[in-house]
């Protein structure tokens, strides 16, 4: 295998670092109590940890790398479905995910038992999960567009969903060349596309988090004035 160009390595390093940006932003802005944002930040944080493992020669030369990669790919869709369920306030979508998630897990379990997790089985489950996630992300975005909500939190969440739409949309391309047409693809180019899409997606999501500002809680001061005194002051 030919040596990876230095430009590709630099972009890969930037992508690995970018995974940690959303969580860092939440810490800097003291927004870790906002569970909606934290779920997505944790998603990218875990992805960053897995990607950093690939920089270790001990890990990449170990059979554990193959197992970790497969588990990460297979767990991505169920985990994202769970996050969408926890963060969405749209009842129709929540009810749909509530039915879809266990059905997907049962289907994945049956496929694993029947096929003993052969390569084609992984391709089937990853592709199926990718399509399901894209469907729900588009559904949520359509809700936001139709709702025409301009609140600060809604704007930040929209940017996060746009980032996910772009990331998973590009994943369709990398999925095709990585799983379906592996002999016709260059592994380095696949990783370049993946890393570039990661940088763009995480940047968009981080921008939404940076621009989020919590509205201050306005408390009414109790007036100790008697009714007559208050009336005189008003006059």
Q: How does pLDDT run across 204-235, given as a tens digit for each residue? A: 999 999 988 876 544 445 545 555 544 444 33
Could you give the CA distance from residue 108 to residue 116 in angstroms, rounded to a whole number?
A: 11
Could you tell me which of 29, 38, 40 has the C-alpha nearest to residue 160?
40
| 193 contact partners, CB below 8 Å, separation of at least 6 | 170, 173, 174
| 190 contact partners, CB below 8 Å, separation of at least 6 | 174, 177, 178
Could you say which DSSP state residue 177 is in? Answer: I
| Averaged pLDDT of the chain | 84
The pTM for the full model equals 0.84
Q: What is the pLDDT of residues 97-128, one digit of tens each?
A: 999 999 999 998 898 888 887 878 888 899 99
Instruction: Identify the structural domains of the chain with CATH numbers, from first to last.
Output: 6-234 (1.20.1070)
| 184 contact partners, CB below 8 Å, separation of at least 6 | 177
Could you tell me which of 144, 143, 130, 151 has the C-alpha nearest to residue 214?
151
Of the candidate ranges 10-14, 89-93, 183-187, 204-208, the one whose mean pLDDT is the lowest: 183-187
Of the candidate ranges 82-86, 163-167, 220-224, the one whose mean pLDDT is the lowest: 220-224
Higher pLDDT, 234 or 34: 34
Please report, for residues 103, 116, 199, the alpha-carbon distance to residue 203 in angstroms, rounded to integers and kept in the order given: 33, 39, 6
Torsion over CA: 12, 17, 22, 25 (sign): negative
Listing DSSP states for 19-31 in one string gives: TTHHHHHHHHTT-
Could you give the CA distance from residue 169 to residue 171 in angstroms, rounded to a whole number?
A: 5
Could you give the CA distance from residue 65 to residue 69 in angstroms, rounded to a whole number?
A: 6
């Amino acid at each position: 295998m030919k040596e990876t160009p230095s430009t590709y390595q630099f972009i890969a390093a930037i992508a690995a670092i970018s995974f940690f940006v959303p969580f860092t932003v939440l810490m800097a802005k003291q927004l870790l109590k906002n569970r909606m944002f934290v779920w997505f930040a944790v998603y990218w944080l875990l992805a960053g940890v897995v990607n950093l493992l690939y920089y270790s020669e001990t890990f990449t030369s170990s059979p554990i790398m193959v197992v970790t990669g497969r588990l990460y790919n297979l767990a991505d869709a169920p985990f994202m479905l769970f996050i969408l369920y926890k963060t969405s306030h749209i009842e129709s979508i929540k009810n749909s995910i509530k039915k879809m998630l266990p059905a997907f897990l049962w289907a994945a379990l049956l496929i694993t038992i029947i096929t003993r997790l052969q390569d084609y089985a992984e391709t089937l489950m990853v592709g199926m999960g990718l399509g399901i996630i894209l469907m729900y992300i588009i559904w949520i975005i359509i809700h936001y567009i139709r709702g025409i909500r301009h609140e600060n939190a809604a704007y930040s969440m929209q940017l996060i969903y746009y980032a996910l739409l772009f990331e998973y949309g590009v994943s369709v391309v990398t999925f095709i060349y990585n799983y379906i047409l592996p002999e016709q693809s260059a592994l380095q180019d696949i990783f370049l596309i993946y890393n570039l899409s990661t940088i763009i997606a995480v940047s968009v999501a981080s921008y939404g988090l940076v621009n989020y500002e919590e509205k201050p809680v306005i408390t009414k001061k109790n007036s100790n004035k008697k009714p007559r005194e208050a009336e005189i002051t008003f006059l």
